A and B are shown apart, each in its own frame.
Chain A
Amino acid sequence: MDLKRFGLIFLWLGGLIFSVPSMAREPDKIPTLDADYQLISSVIDSVSKLENLIALDSISPYWSGKVARQLAIFQGNREALSGYIVRAGKAVGADKSEHSNTANWKTVLRLQKDTFGAGNEAWLGFDTPFANARDTLMEFVNHPDLRVKFLTVLGSDSSLNSLTRPLTEIHLMQLEAGIARNEEKIRRYKIKYGPTSARLNLLETAINYWVLQKVPMFRSTENGPGHLEFIAAYSTAYLVMYHTGLGDFASTPALTSVFECGFRYYVFKPGWGGEGILDRMIKPAYMTFGGLLGTRDDGFLRLPGYHGARWGVFGSWGDMKLAWQGWNDLDHSQLLVSRQFQFIPYLF
């Protein structure tokens, strides 16, 4: 019966943590598609002007061919995007007459619609034909040898900057995305390592900082730190709350000592891991789960396993810890409560 209750509690906690949040309504992509169309057009226009300005085909047939291939990719995408906007009746915010309606469905269907619009993959993504073309065109306008030639013809930085503005817009978008991405990473690292995170003892430090930094779920990825942290701690601050074996509440307060081994899961969802007391209770930075080895008899600073042992499980919701011991001795099984802290800093 008690085990079932525990199971239900863990299921409830698990549901809270791992449930997929309801999907937000997809934002209206129409204005962004139009903006993408405008930007593609501006890039084509800008690069074509620069090519002609310095007679690129005579200066560098190699770069001329390279740029032509990338422009073709941009032109193909512009045509498909325009066709999609018209055929889907989504031309908003721009003059409809601007869009081609000559693109047939085959062309339109070739368009990777996720690439454009709200996803912004066209400008921020990598390793797609469009992204490779974009990078090559950016390299073209930033090429040190070609830039000297552009400046020689145009005569001033401001004229060149005005002409290359569409490519600068793309760069700006990438920088903004980069800043946002790095800010998110930093936020996550602060949750896992900052002042509201759990402190580590000597053993945990060695294992988490060195051994597990290469293990999936523990190690960092491009999105920031891994969610998991290894726990190997001695706790002597568990309060016996309920004698599950006997079916009664503890008549006198008693402490018991256990050795815990398990995992701490850090929650990186926005809104979780706040510093306020209420925030820490409702949406904590972390939760833990694992097994424990307790003492045969209750007591402060006892050595688990010595003179008999009780096995059990523990879990926590933020700092608040709940444990059950007595798997191998159901008559003496107990429900325990505690709070996450180090009784002897540095050691336990």
Chain B
Amino acid sequence: MKSWTSSRAVLFVHGIGDSTQVNYQSMELRLREILGSDSGKFAYYGYAYDKYNDMFKDKAQATATLTKAIRDHIPVEGIEGPPGNAIAEFLLDVLWPIAVADARLLIQADYIKTLQQMVKDGIASGFPAADQKISIICHSLGCFQTYEILHRCANEPLEGLTPATHGVHFQNVIFMASPVQLIRTIAGGLTLLPKGLYCLQNGPLRAPSQTSTDLNGTAFENYSVRNWISIAGDLDPVGGHWLGKKLKSFYMDVPARAPFTGQQSFIDDESLFNVHTLKDWVALVTDIAQKKSVGSPVNDPHSWHEYIERHATNLKKWLLA
């Protein structure tokens, strides 16, 4: 249990890759620097789900072979060494929560428990749910987990996290390099997948909500996210871009639907990486993979740290709003 000094809290949710390399303490320290004198107003939380991906991988030993094969045998012309780890981690991290219902439900239970604990901590510190200002900063596959979990929370009163009944609203949900639309496009074509993914529901992607009634008795959607922000780099394929171009089928865009005002979109210019061709891009990713530095700050178009650095000023503004 954490004690809150004000009504504000922030949750980090990591992305694709080996979560043991994601250091939430360093993320917290950097965010504290960004927030400056206001940093003490926040309670800081981190959620890591990669341990469960590893659990499913270890149980199904056959998939360890797949990982090894990907690591060792993906040839890239003109590039020395395998792009390996990052791609293997990516494929399996995506595979479990999407394709295996039990993996998805386990991560769901754990993520929701984290949110329940946060809201409970806030209440115990004297801030009822309706007063709380919780922000979520998620990266990569963590965006997918967050999208799914927020919808589950809004639709399932059992969890005690609905916007209308329980007054739980998230002040900011900041998606960095979100693959939600990418997964929707790919998984939408796979009929054998277990049902129940919110990102595969009919119609456009939407913000989570619970139906309520206004003062005149007219139904309206009470949205659980106040400020829905999407940040992607123009060289980051996970965020729906390829060599500087936006790919509509892969880019997450959540349109306005009153009273939800829609997603605030930010596309970062990553031209400094000097990547113009597929070969340039593969060389860059291979370099990152060989350094085993998923999420590192070294010239990685998908780097979480880089996204945070590029939006430090905005982050402070959003979190303190």
A interface residues, how many (CB within 8 angstroms): 57
**Given the known A-B contacts A172-B123, A209-B100, are A60 and B216 also in contact in the complex, defined by CB atoms under 8 Å?**
yes
A175 contacts across to B, CB distance below 8 A: 116, 119-120, 123, 160
Q: Which of A138, A146, A214 contacts B166 (CB 8 A)?
A: A138
**Given the known A-B contacts A174-B160, A194-B55, A220-B102, are A200 and B116 also in contact in the complex, defined by CB atoms under 8 Å?**
no
Q: Which 8 A-B pairs have the closest CB atoms?
A: A142-B167, A62-B217, A174-B160, A60-B215, A182-B113, A205-B60, A202-B62, A189-B106
B65 contacts across to A, CB distance below 8 A: 346
Beta-carbon contact of B216 and A62 below 8 Å: yes
Beta-carbon contact of B59 and A183 below 8 Å: no
Beta-carbon contact of B160 and A346 below 8 Å: no
Beta-carbon contact of B102 and A225 below 8 Å: yes
Interface string of A182-218 (1 = CB under 8 A from B): 1101100110111101011110010001100110000
A263 contacts across to B, CB distance below 8 A: none
A177 contacts across to B, CB distance below 8 A: 160
11 further interface pairs, Cβ-Cβ under 8 Å (given A175-B116, A185-B106, A195-B58)? A63-B213, A138-B167, A161-B126, A171-B160, A175-B120, A193-B59, A200-B60, A210-B100, A214-B194, A222-B158, A224-B109
Q: Is A316 an interface residue (CB 8 A)?
A: no
Q: Given the complex of chains A and B, what is the CA–CA distance between A235 and B129 in angstroms?
A: 55
Min Cβ gap A183→B in Å is 7
Min Cβ gap B106→A in Å is 4
* Interface size, B (range): 35 or more
Beta-carbon contact of B113 and A200 below 8 Å: no
A176 contacts across to B, CB distance below 8 A: 120
B112 contacts across to A, CB distance below 8 A: 178, 182
Min Cβ gap B144→A in Å is 19
B157 contacts across to A, CB distance below 8 A: 126, 135
A192 contacts across to B, CB distance below 8 A: 102
Q: Given the complex of chains A and B, what is the CA–CA distance between A157 and B7 in angstroms?
A: 11
A190 contacts across to B, CB distance below 8 A: 55
Q: Is B187 an interface residue (CB 8 A)?
A: no
A179 contacts across to B, CB distance below 8 A: 113, 116-117, 120
**Given the known A-B contacts A135-B165, A175-B160, A195-B58, are A144 and B222 also in contact in the complex, defined by CB atoms under 8 Å?**
yes
Identify 21 residue pairs between A and B in the complex whose beta-carbon atoms are under 8 Å apart, listed by A's number.
A62-B217, A135-B165, A139-B212, A143-B212, A144-B222, A157-B131, A168-B123, A171-B123, A171-B166, A172-B123, A175-B160, A178-B160, A181-B158, A182-B110, A186-B113, A193-B106, A199-B58, A200-B61, A210-B192, A219-B101, A225-B106
Q: Given the complex of chains A and B, what is the CA–CA distance between A71 and B225 in angstroms?
A: 30
Min Cβ gap A140→B in Å is 10
Interface string of B59-92 (1 = CB under 8 A from A): 1111111000000000000000000000000000
**Given the known A-B contacts A171-B166, A219-B101, are A182 and B116 also in contact in the complex, defined by CB atoms under 8 Å?**
yes
Beta-carbon contact of B215 and A62 below 8 Å: yes
Q: Is A295 an interface residue (CB 8 A)?
A: no
Q: Which of B59, B63, B99, B165 contacts A138 (CB 8 A)?
A: B165
Using a CB–CB cutoff of 8 Å, the interface residues on chain B facing chain A are 52, 55-56, 58-65, 99-103, 105-106, 109-110, 112-113, 116-117, 119-120, 123-124, 126, 128-131, 157-161, 164-167, 192, 194, 212-217, 222
Beta-carbon contact of B165 and A197 below 8 Å: no
Q: Given the complex of chains A and B, what is the CA–CA distance between A253 and B113 in angstroms?
A: 52
Q: Given the complex of chains A and B, what is the CA–CA distance between A142 and B222 in angstroms?
A: 11
Which residue on chain B has the smallest CB distance to residue A144? B222
Q: Given the complex of chains A and B, what is the CA–CA distance between A166 and B134 in angstroms?
A: 23
A144 contacts across to B, CB distance below 8 A: 222
Min Cβ gap B174→A in Å is 22
Q: Which of B105, B117, B194, B215 contacts A63 (CB 8 A)?
A: B215
Beta-carbon contact of B165 and A126 below 8 Å: no
B130 contacts across to A, CB distance below 8 A: 141-142, 147
B100 contacts across to A, CB distance below 8 A: 209-210, 213
Which residue on chain A has the smallest CB distance to residue B59? A193
Q: Given the complex of chains A and B, what is the CA–CA distance between A59 and B123 in angstroms?
A: 29
A135 contacts across to B, CB distance below 8 A: 157, 165
